[in-house]
Structure 1
Amino acid sequence: MADTLPSHASVVVIGGGIMGCSTLYHLAKMGVTDAILLERNALTSGTTWHSAAQVRALRHSRNLTRMIQYSVDLYSQLEKETGQSVGWIQKGSLSIATTPDRLTHVKRQEALAHAYGIDAWSVSAGEAKERWPLMNAEDVLGAVWSPDDGRVSPSDVCAALVKGAKSLGAKIFERTGVTGILTENGRITGVETDKGTVMCDAIALCTGLWSREVGAMAGAEVPALACEHFYLLTKPIDGITGNTPTLSDHDSHLYIRDDSGGLLVGCFEPMGKPIAPGVLNESFEFGLLPEDWDHFEPMMMNALHRLPALETAEVKMLLNGPESFTPDGTFMLGETAETHGLFLGCGLNSVGIASGGGAGMNLAHAIVHGRTAYDLSEADAKRFAPVFNSVEHLMARAPEILGTHYDIAYPGKQLKTARDLRRLPLDAEYRKAGAHMGQVYGWERPLYFGKTAEPQMTFGRPDWFGNVEAEVTAAHEKAAIFDASPFGKIDVTGPDAEAFLARVCAGHVGRKPGSVIYTAVLNDRGTFESDITVQRLGAERYRLFVGTNAIKRDLAWFRRHSEGFDVALADVTEDYATLGLMGPDAARIAAACGAEGLDGIGYFRVAPARIAGIEVTAARLSYVGEAGWEITCAAAEASRLYAALTAGGAVPAGLFAQSSMRIEKGFCAMGHELDSDVTPIAAGLGFALRKAGGYIGADAVETARASGETARIVSLTLDDGTAVPLGHEPVYLDGKIVGQTSSCAFGYRIGKPVALAHLHHPLADGTRVQVDIARTLFDATVTCGPLFDPDGARMKPVPAEA
């Protein structure tokens, strides 16, 4: 390894595990040959060395799957490139099901695998037994076989990555501890170590268990916490010859494979054991934690049931090695909101080896090119609310996240820990109305109302079906209240407010005061960074409404593009409440509350008003396809406003009703239909773009338009009213996959299950297709546009009845 630190490096990678080694390798491959890696102990001495190192390609999204497929290809290529074996063993994986719901879950995964081009197919319990003869298969209902999965040697993979990086000029410094991070005006300038200072332009923070503390050196929030993680190793046993597939018995919280002629039995138990910050210090090198047989005992009983041979096996050890977990179970990758030039590659949630190759490539890509190679917004380093960086909340949440690793992906399932962190202004009123709450960006938001008992999780028609139907019916026939208070609100003020927004927004932000503008926020590739609603409240004053979980990301984006403009940006999210009053009875209710003039506000217009004596701004628009307003008032006045509206006959409605109505209207949403891989043209939103250009991404949009790109998001209506699509299902035409669903719900105004779907190529209106729900094909019809009220007549002003 290198001896003398350079005075400057373009990029400093901190941490010598799989993420650090992969990131350094890819930086060097991308031409950053002066990059260096700092490791305070020895390479792989944190958590990488004791990884079970499974590489299973399928993940819940196309791009996470694509990322791991890249890892598989990379690990194979490294052997040829460097001569260093990575210990790749490709014996496949077998996922068994012992309950009907688990069988549905694995069949949904099989369908997803087909959509993503991965080999996977269902096998019977008997066939599963043939592939794993030591397994007790008496209670197995079925399984899915994935032949291309495998495992590697973690230390060998890192050795190959390091060898490749060094051959290109990158340098590694072991036994070099970081003692401080230098910043100036919110930007990275250097790294202080116990061997000197290195000035740099960017830092890749790949410090695993210690990432939260190292990030704090640079003023950044990194919500990740270590938990204990267990696997049992036995001495050689009869029946294990050579290498076996990985056996996943997720109903028992177990994964199982061979190890040196014996067995490796690992678990993700329902509730893990957190490790408080500071317990694992700089001396924790190639370290393990004490065996805890009491904690492991329930998993051991499950293992004895699945593998009777364990009863006579000789135990080698119960390995207890720490792993880091995030508040939602997905890693953090990309630049932080707080500190420019600080990039995170951490919180791998025990899938570091599988993810490391592709995640390291994407992190290097983000550093060099300013973006990941493809959309990874679900892993965006800026996605967590600041409240989640609290040690108290992490200590509660991380153990549950460990346990959810093998959960069944039920629709509507909610986490139980670290709840009630942020309450809406109307929280008390909603709970009194029987709200079932869901957590979004730390906020507790009502999913539906009238709950009388905790809902049972199911893949069939949910317990809340009738509750949501009543809410949609109220909005459609009378009036309902949808709470948009947790949507991010950013005030943009100053002489250059219009010029600034004309640069960062693709929509018609130059409209006169009193206008509401829907606009895309694009990057230089002409794909979505965000989609927002803008209210022009004055000549030099705008209010931007952004997604609930996008406020940190979007605010960072706007601030970093505001240089050179005389504007001020302020996050006023918690200062105001916003209630959507929607339905044909909305005008009568508003008039009864003393706001007779409210109905005079034109479509996509905003104006000040008084409702029940409360100063508000009312914007005429609708996310649910019914006439009404989004009414914004001071947060402290929300209770009075809500009391007046409900006294007039409006009823509260939750997110499930809103989603159903949104999908019926064909309205796209970030993270579902829209992301940084999708252009407005492909999303059918070209009409909302300024023809004159001048905005970020305009040239790329015109290139896409000139190349013949067309809208590829369509609506689907399923014939079978009992079908329950959830999203990500493959769409078939004539036996071939032609697309995938993105948002799904029951359409109460349509009377059928409905979906929005991305197609690989346009299909004609009325085309008959099939949707694969857990390997059962359901007939559906394509509609090129909204399913409900396609001309939008119901969203326009409706005069109040006399």
Structure 2
Amino acid sequence: MNAPASRPAPNGTAVGSEADVVIIGGGVMGASIAYHLAEAGVRDIVVLEQGELAGGSSGKPIGGVRAQFSDPVNIALGARSLRAYQDFGRRPGADIKLDSVGYLFLLTEPAHVAAFETSVALQQEFGVPSRLISAREAQQLCPYVVPDGLLAAVYSPTDGHARPGLAVQGYAAAGTRAGVVFATGTRVTGLVTTGDRVTAVHTDRGDIRCRTVICAAGAWSAAVGAMAGVDLPVRPVRRQLAFTAPLTPPAPRIPFTIDFASTAYFHNSDDGLLLGIADPDQADGFDVTWTADWLDLFRAAVAHRAPALADLPISSGWAGLYEVTPDHNALIGRSTTVGNFLYATGFSGHGFLQAPAVGEVVRDLVLDRPPVIDVSALHADRFLSSTTIRPEAAVV
């Protein structure tokens, strides 16, 4: 698919001076919010992106889509988004290369098996077809898996993976047709507040008076929140992945497979495999330089669980940013101190898979109506008290 017909502000040209809604961040979250607002009839929407659309975290995630979570709000967001991605070809109308191969979690510790048993029961209450399976069944689904030492696995056949960049393009193209302005190459330099409201957005292309501001700036959200005096506890953490060289014979079609204890993961990608792992020692920061040193961590993790992957030749890779909160759950809501400042950020690796549902939720919040999913548990103010929800494990 070609790039969307976004309308960037040319170098040296001021952006429009007024908008109903200004969305800061041109990744999948900002594009989804813009699309759903425009679909609901909201006009004068401007999306500000400092680089190109999907140029930040949305351009470099692993593309997993799933409804397997351990709490009701994340299950609901994942399940609703999964249905939206299955229907993406019709609404908004784009091919995102969705491959519904399922998600397969490999479990090697008794405590993890017990936790997943509880989670699966909850998921099934929401209609998610996840189930606990044996080690032998896991190997049948993914021939790379060695069952020795594997206590159990969890599989949901409707999960899978897609191409996040194509989703951003699809939302942006549909939004553009509905009148949304995507101002790429436009950096936000400040917010003007009057009383308890944001009244204007400063950019390096000019100022925009506005009625509503939405922060969907991903790893950069803490700085945007600070401009409005709103605390958004989001920190940037580099995550890296790699692609194998083309495989002969071709890799079998396998689920998105995760060794839960180590977080090592892999799935099909074109004519090879995509590989990755969450490095627990990765320092915070905005560095997205790709290095190969983390591959030793991956190889050690799969040496016993999927040993055939340990020596596969690597052809390329990339590094991107997770936008991480203290409990690894998103921040979604309206500020209690700046009434027209909303936020959808801090997804800790789950932004792409939850973007369709979050776009609908934020649309409803902007329109001051009950959201399609109750996300009150994800309000940023939870960190001011002891009401944080169960932390999500740092897995994809």
* TM-score, with length taken from structure 2: 0.90
Work out which of the residue numbers 11, 23, 34 in structure 1 matches 2:21.
11
1:259-338 equivalences in 2 (<5 Å): 259-275=269-285, 279=286, 288-291=288-291, 293=293, 295-338=294-337
Q: What is the DSSP-based 3-state SS (H/G/I as helix, E as strand, rest coil) of the residue aligned with 2:53?
A: coil
Cα distance in 2 between the residues matched to 1:311 and 1:270: 20
One-letter identity of the residue aligned with 2:160: G
Cα distance in 1 between the residues matched to 2:303 and 2:320: 22
Cα distance in 2 between the residues matched to 1:239 and 1:124: 27
1:142 maps to 2:131: no
Q: Is the 8 A contact 2:251 2:273 kept in 1?
A: no
1:158 maps to 2:168: yes
Q: Is the 8 A contact 2:60 2:319 kept in 1?
A: no
1:394-793 equivalences in 2 (<5 Å): 404-406=393-395
Q: Is the 8 A contact 2:77 2:373 kept in 1?
A: no
Structure 1 residues 108 and 271, CA gap change in structure 2 (3 angstroms): farther
Q: What is the DSSP-based 3-state SS (H/G/I as helix, E as strand, rest coil) of the residue aligned with 1:23?
A: helix
What root-mean-square deviation, in Å, do the aligned CA atoms of Structure 1 and Structure 2 show? 2.2
Cα distance in 2 between the residues matched to 1:371 and 1:382: 19
Structure 2 residue aligned with 1:118: 128
Cα distance in 2 between the residues matched to 1:195 and 1:312: 50
Work out which of the residue numbers 200, 213, 227 in structure 1 matches 2:210.
200
Structure 2 residue aligned with 1:628: none
One-letter identity of the residue aligned with 1:179: T
Q: What is the DSSP-based 3-state SS (H/G/I as helix, E as strand, rest coil) of the residue aligned with 1:64?
A: helix
Q: What is the DSSP-based 3-state SS (H/G/I as helix, E as strand, rest coil) of the residue aligned with 2:90?
A: helix
Structure 2 residue aligned with 1:105: 115
Cα distance in 1 between the residues matched to 2:118 and 2:394: 17
One-letter identity of the residue aligned with 1:260: D
Q: Is the 8 A contact 2:333 2:375 kept in 1?
A: no
Q: Is the 8 A contact 2:240 2:290 kept in 1?
A: no
Q: Per-residue deviation at 1:296?
A: 4.8
Structure 1 residues 253 and 38, CA gap change in structure 2 (3 angstroms): same
One-letter identity of the residue aligned with 2:315: K
One-letter identity of the residue aligned with 1:208: G
1:40 maps to 2:14: no
Q: Is the 8 A contact 1:190 1:197 kept in 2?
A: yes
One-letter identity of the residue aligned with 2:330: F
Q: Per-residue deviation at 1:199?
A: 0.8
Work out which of the residue numbers 141, 148, 158 in structure 2 matches 1:131.
141
One-letter identity of the residue aligned with 1:185: G
Structure 2 residue aligned with 1:251: 261
Q: What is the DSSP-based 3-state SS (H/G/I as helix, E as strand, rest coil) of the residue aligned with 2:43?
A: coil
Work out which of the residue numbers 209, 225, 228 in structure 1 matches 2:219.
209
* TM-score, with length taken from structure 1: 0.46
Q: Is the 8 A contact 1:330 1:378 kept in 2?
A: no
One-letter identity of the residue aligned with 1:167: R
Cα distance in 2 between the residues matched to 1:69 and 1:312: 36
Structure 2 residue aligned with 1:50: 60
Please give the per-residue CA displacement for 1:595-653, whole angstroms capped at 9, x wherever unaligned.
xxxxxxxxxxxxxxxxxxxxxxxxxxxxxxxxxxxxxxxxxxxxxxxxxxxxxxxxxxx
Q: Per-residue deviation at 1:207?
A: 0.7
Q: Per-residue deviation at 1:301?
A: 0.4
Q: Per-residue deviation at 1:359?
A: 1.2
Q: Per-residue deviation at 1:175?
A: 1.1
Structure 1 residue aligned with 2:388: none
1:66-85 equivalences in 2 (<5 Å): 66-85=76-95
Cα distance in 2 between the residues matched to 1:319 and 1:177: 24
Structure 1 residue aligned with 2:362: 363
Q: Is the 8 A contact 1:137 1:306 kept in 2?
A: yes
Cα distance in 1 between the residues matched to 2:373 and 2:135: 38
Q: Per-residue deviation at 1:370?
A: 5.4
Q: Per-residue deviation at 1:406?
A: 4.6
Please give the per-residue CA displacement for 1:259-306, whole angstroms capped at 9, x wherever unaligned.
22222222224443222xxx56xxxxxxx324151x553332012322
Q: Per-residue deviation at 1:216?
A: 1.2
Q: Is the 8 A contact 1:134 1:239 kept in 2?
A: no
Cα distance in 1 between the residues matched to 2:161 and 2:306: 21
Please give the per-residue CA displacement for 1:91-130, whole angstroms capped at 9, x wherever unaligned.
1111221222222222222212211111122222111111
Work out which of the residue numbers 34, 37, 40 in structure 2 matches 1:27.
37
Q: Is the 8 A contact 1:221 1:338 kept in 2?
A: no
Q: What is the DSSP-based 3-state SS (H/G/I as helix, E as strand, rest coil) of the residue aligned with 1:345?
A: strand
Structure 2 residue aligned with 1:656: none
Please give the per-residue CA displacement for 1:575-611, whole angstroms capped at 9, x wherever unaligned.
xxxxxxxxxxxxxxxxxxxxxxxxxxxxxxxxxxxxx
Q: Per-residue deviation at 1:60?
A: 2.1
1:171-210 equivalences in 2 (<5 Å): 171-210=181-220
Count of aligned positions: 381
Q: Per-residue deviation at 1:239?
A: 5.4
Q: What is the DSSP-based 3-state SS (H/G/I as helix, E as strand, rest coil) of the residue aligned with 1:384?
A: helix
Cα distance in 1 between the residues matched to 2:375 and 2:310: 44
Q: What is the DSSP-based 3-state SS (H/G/I as helix, E as strand, rest coil) of the residue aligned with 2:383?
A: coil
Q: Is the 8 A contact 1:335 1:382 kept in 2?
A: no
Please give the per-residue CA displacement for 1:41-85, whole angstroms capped at 9, x wherever unaligned.
100001111100101112222232122222122223331244421
Structure 2 residue aligned with 1:237: 247
Q: What is the DSSP-based 3-state SS (H/G/I as helix, E as strand, rest coil) of the residue aligned with 1:119?
A: coil
Q: Per-residue deviation at 1:165?
A: 1.4
Cα distance in 1 between the residues matched to 2:79 and 2:62: 18
Cα distance in 2 between the residues matched to 1:135 and 1:261: 19
One-letter identity of the residue aligned with 1:291: T
Cα distance in 1 between the residues matched to 2:83 and 2:304: 36
Cα distance in 2 between the residues matched to 1:116 and 1:370: 23
Cα distance in 2 between the residues matched to 1:100 and 1:374: 33
Q: Per-residue deviation at 1:257?
A: 0.9
Structure 2 residue aligned with 1:376: 375
Please give the per-residue CA displacement for 1:674-712, whole angstroms capped at 9, x wherever unaligned.
xxxxxxxxxxxxxxxxxxxxxxxxxxxxxxxxxxxxxxx
Q: What is the DSSP-based 3-state SS (H/G/I as helix, E as strand, rest coil) of the residue aligned with 1:273?
A: coil
Q: What is the DSSP-based 3-state SS (H/G/I as helix, E as strand, rest coil) of the residue aligned with 2:179?
A: coil
Larger Rg: 1
Structure 2 segments unaligned to the other structure (5+ residues): 1-5, 386-390
Q: What is the DSSP-based 3-state SS (H/G/I as helix, E as strand, rest coil) of the residue aligned with 2:337?
A: coil
Q: Per-residue deviation at 1:318?
A: 4.8
Q: How many percent identity over aligned positions?
A: 26
Q: What is the DSSP-based 3-state SS (H/G/I as helix, E as strand, rest coil) of the residue aligned with 1:19?
A: helix
Structure 1 segments unaligned to the other structure (5+ residues): 281-287, 387-400, 408-802
Structure 1 residues 240 and 112, CA gap change in structure 2 (3 angstroms): farther
Please give the per-residue CA displacement for 1:399-436, whole angstroms capped at 9, x wherever unaligned.
xx89x4259xxxxxxxxxxxxxxxxxxxxxxxxxxxxx
Q: Is the 8 A contact 1:334 1:366 kept in 2?
A: yes
Q: Per-residue deviation at 1:242?
A: 5.9
Q: Is the 8 A contact 1:10 1:35 kept in 2?
A: yes
One-letter identity of the residue aligned with 1:154: P
Structure 1 residues 251 and 240, CA gap change in structure 2 (3 angstroms): farther
Structure 2 residue aligned with 1:446: none
Structure 1 residues 136 and 262, CA gap change in structure 2 (3 angstroms): same
Q: Is the 8 A contact 1:265 1:303 kept in 2?
A: no
Cα distance in 1 between the residues matched to 2:253 and 2:208: 46
Cα distance in 2 between the residues matched to 1:156 and 1:124: 35
Q: Is the 8 A contact 2:75 2:123 kept in 1?
A: no
Please give the per-residue CA displacement for 1:461-490, whole angstroms capped at 9, x wherever unaligned.
xxxxxxxxxxxxxxxxxxxxxxxxxxxxxx
Cα distance in 1 between the residues matched to 2:32 and 2:41: 14
Structure 2 residue aligned with 1:348: 347
Cα distance in 2 between the residues matched to 1:290 and 1:166: 33
Q: What is the DSSP-based 3-state SS (H/G/I as helix, E as strand, rest coil) of the residue aligned with 2:62?
A: coil
